[in-house]
Amino acid sequence: MSPVGASRQLEIKIARKAFRTASGEVREVLRDFSTSLAVGKVHALVGPSGYGKTTLLRIVIGLDRDFEGAVALPPGTKIGMVFQEPRLLPWRSVLDNLRLAAPQASEANLLRIATDLGIAGHLRYFPGELSLGLARRVALARAFAVNPNFLVLDEPFVSLDEALAMRLGDELMALVEHTEVTTLLVTHDIDEAIRLADHIMLLGGRPAKIVADFDIALPRAAMTADYAAKIKAEIGAVIAEAVA
């Protein structure tokens, strides 16, 4: 539900983003990166590590304002962020971590999210007492607790074993579909992107930009191995071409 006249898209246009390295030279990371994210969809940004994916995310969520271009989020956008590392407050319990990020959320709501993500039994623990998998779940719960309309995930399943990553991915998508939140997922894993996203942007080149866009026509629940393989082959062809 967006007010009349409000943008239904999130516009991201980055003309140029450069860093000055320690040795004093300027390294361009992104150039002519432009995309619009349809509201309510899951968008995956795929690319090998070192291609500025995290840099791009930091610009999108407003942590980095030192770039040429513009990021236009619809007014009143509430961001739920899942960083690569869980980034929980180690000196506060799991429940307090959720409460502090989302002070307006009701206890019942927090408990429901915690139950959905399988951490209801760990609310009294300190983050240091959790496994990485559980800490990731808490970070996901925290992002949902703020009732976001823009969910941003930076490699949320990296360094989890595959079965756990799959299960957590499914739980995440159940929540995303239930809340219809616009989602931007950054990953280096093409299979994960195909499985979870409606729209895949392939990042490549140096400085990096979007080299190809794919819309996944099949809804997640109806995803078949054949269709996934077909998309993966298309993406593979683009990557091969880019490298050649």
Partner 1 sequence: MLLRILSLLLLIAIWQVASMLAASRLLPEPLAVVDVMLREARSGALFFNLGTTLARVAISFALAMFFGTVFGVLMGRSVTLDRLGDPWLVVLLNLPALVIIVLAYIWIGLTDTAAILAVALNKLPNATVTIREGARSLDAGLEEMATVFAMPWQTRLRHVLLPQLAPYIAAATRSGLSIVWKIVLVVELLGRSNGVGFEIGTAFQVFNVALLLAYALPFVGIMLAIESFIVQPFEQHVSRWRIKTA
Question: What residue ranges bind partner 1 (CB under 8 A)?
Answer: 58, 61-63, 79, 81, 83, 85, 87, 89-92, 96, 100-103, 126, 128-129, 142, 146
Burial (CB < 10 A; 0-12, 13-18, 19+), residue 217, is exposed
Distance CA 41, CA 145 (A): 19
140 versus 235: smaller Cβ distance to partner 1: 140
- 3-state secondary structure at position 8: coil
Nearer to partner 1, 20 or 224 (CB): 20
For residue 96, the surrounding DSSP H or E stretch is helix 94-101
Identity of the residue, 155 or 198, whose beta carbon is nearer to partner 1 in the bound complex: 155
Say how far apart CA 86 and CA 82 lie, in whole Å. 7
Which CB sits closer to partner 1, 60 or 202? 60
Residue 182: what are its φ and ψ, rounded to 5°? -65, 130
Distance CA 130, CA 137 (A): 10
For the CB of residue 165, give the shortest distance to partner 1 in the complex, in Å.
Answer: 22
Task: Write down the least CB distance from residue 144 to partner 1, Å.
Answer: 12
Q: Cβ of residue 235: shortest distance to partner 1, in angstroms?
A: 30
Nearer to partner 1, 94 or 239 (CB): 94
Identify which of residues 32 and 96 has a Cβ nearer to partner 1 in the complex. 96
Nearest distance from residue 73's CB to partner 1, in Å?
13
Q: C-beta of 104: minimal distance to partner 1 in Å?
A: 11
CB of 85 to partner 1, least distance (A): 7
Asked whether 81 and 152 are in contact (CB, 8 A), the reply is yes
Q: What is the 3-state secondary structure (H, E, C) of 43-92?
A: EEEECCCCCCHHHHHHHHCCCCCCCEEEEECCCCCCEEEECCCCCCCCCC
Minimum distance of partner 1 from residue 81's CB (angstroms): 4
Which is closer to partner 1, CB of 3 or CB of 128? 128
Is residue 222 classed exposed, middle or buried when 0-12, 13-18 and 19+ CB atoms within 10 A define those classes?
exposed
CA 214 to chain centre: 17
Peptide bond before 207: cis, by omega within 30 degrees of 0?
yes
